[in-house]
Structure 1
Amino acid sequence: MPVGIEAWFSQVPPITRAWLVCAVLTSLAVQCQMVTPLQLYFSYKAAFNNAQLWRIFTTFFYFGNISLDFVFHLFFFMRYSRLLEESSFPHQKAGYFYMLFQCAVMLLLLSPLVTMPFLSSSLAFVPIYLWSRRHPSTHISLFGVLTITAPYLPLALVAFSWVLNGTWHAAAGDLLGCAVGHVVWFVRDVWTREMVGGKGWWSEPPDFLRRLMNEI
């Protein structure tokens, strides 16, 4: 591995880095026919009735076969997950993991309602949405063509995904991620500030998780 890539990789925050590695390895495993997508998707029947509990996790790591859509989702997820982890959760591995865990649980509960076997793109859009809400005045250049402010970024990416795949269904997972991201932003930022007046259990990781990640 070139030194430049190795140095860049080591600078990626730990939770984002671990998620990125799992996503790339999962897609490579499918591409090399070591596993099939049928072994990775999530359904309550397969996961719980058939005791295939790994599906609870693999549904968040498989972004599809290596393609333009795969690169699109992985690039924007990595970029804004990194920015969010560095700006809102500096040296707080447990805090960022806890936030993603809460979002993952919400997505698993919603998945039967929207019939989505893979929730990777949905979870990947949560950091994008949350970062855009926490940096509302930031200007972003999309592909050097269009300049927008951060709050419009998630919708712009959803539209691009729609155009890229040619069907609205391809963007349904991204929209679900935006919806969950909005709930997280409202509860953690708006509700906590205006109604509670301080952080609660939903925004502070439990002690056992902080111990597990050597933060206590």
Structure 2
Amino acid sequence: MAFQTLVQGFYEIPVVTRIYTTACVCTTFAVHLDLISPFQLYFNPTLILQGQIWRLITTFLFFGTIGFSFLFNMIFTYRYCRMLEEGSFRGKTADFIMMFVFGAVFMIIFAFFINLLFLGQAFTIMLVYIWSRRNPFLRMNFFGLLNFQAPYLPWVLLAFSVILGDISNAIYIDLVGIGAGHVYWFLEDVFPNQPNGKKLLKTPQFLRNIFDEPPDTDDYVVLPEDRAGGAAFVWGNANVANNNNDNNQQNQ
């Protein structure tokens, strides 16, 4: 019975979030169990040009050794990917996939110049950045120590990743993720609303034909992203709280 409940809960996760987080966990555990080597996965332009195209994908799937840092990254990846997919991308799976493609291309271009081997953490930061910009008035608490509004979350995570790992590498990776998220947010949410602005990122129609379904106009309701997965979420001692009263005051 418990297994059936677990399986049912797994399939209730939105499809893109389910596939990406599962791929990240499976790839990292496969390396941990010596089924594959990280040398087969890292971003290497020379080997890619020689035909090892899979490295363009696997660079986003490996999160290092199993430990606190891996768990931390997986929780954030799952949480913010799901909140985006169930929030502003609800019913827009094709647009969500297009965001993945845009972010991946942006990071790969930078990886050519600054020698980044694995981009999974940068991708997580990009998801967090986009979510935080679309929830600017949400108040958050981090490890019971810091209280701040959502747009500061990526910078808090950058500082935290510096504490956890190699300083120079952590800064480069997180800044690439923040850069990708900022460019996407600007092109999608800011520039089209400016005088003479227009939407520059357009999802190909074939993606819409494959992934999007026309919403049921009688029952379709767009839920705020901060409601996805509950009003509050705890990572060990880390707590992100949904302050609905602050949001209501901002809307009045």
Change (3 A) 1:94 1:196: farther
State the Cα deviation string for residues 96-144 of structure 1 (Å, max 9, x = none).
0111101101111110211101111111211100110111100112123
Change (3 A) 1:209 1:161: same
SS, match of residue 88 in structure 1: coil
State the Cα deviation string for residues 33-90 of structure 1 (Å, max 9, x = none).
1111110011211111x21111111011111121111111111121111111111100
* Structure 2 counterparts to residues 33-182 of structure 1, below 5 A: 33-48=34-49, 50-165=50-165, 167-182=167-182
**Where in structure 1 are there 5+ consecutive unaligned residues?**
none
SS, match of residue 87 in structure 2: helix
Counterpart residue type for residue 11 of structure 2: S
| Bigger helix share | 1
Tell me which of the two structures has the higher relative contact order, counting C-alpha pairs closer than 8 angstroms and 6 or more residues apart: 2
211, 214, 237: which one pairs with 1:213?
A: 211
Measure how far apart 1:7 and its partner are. 4.1
SS, match of residue 205 in structure 1: coil
TM-score by length of 1: 0.91
Q: Is the 8 A contact 2:158 2:170 kept in 1?
A: no
- Other-structure match for 1:6: 7
TM-score by length of 2: 0.79
Q: Quick check: 160-169 or 68-77, which moved more?
A: 160-169
Q: Is the 8 A contact 2:62 2:120 kept in 1?
A: yes
SS, match of residue 141 in structure 2: strand
Change (3 A) 1:190 1:67: same
Measure how far apart 1:6 and its partner are. 3.4
CA distance in 2, matches of 1:96, 1:195: 26
Count of aligned residue pairs for this structure pair:
213
Counterpart residue type for residue 13 of structure 2: V
What is the aligned-residue identity percentage?
A: 36
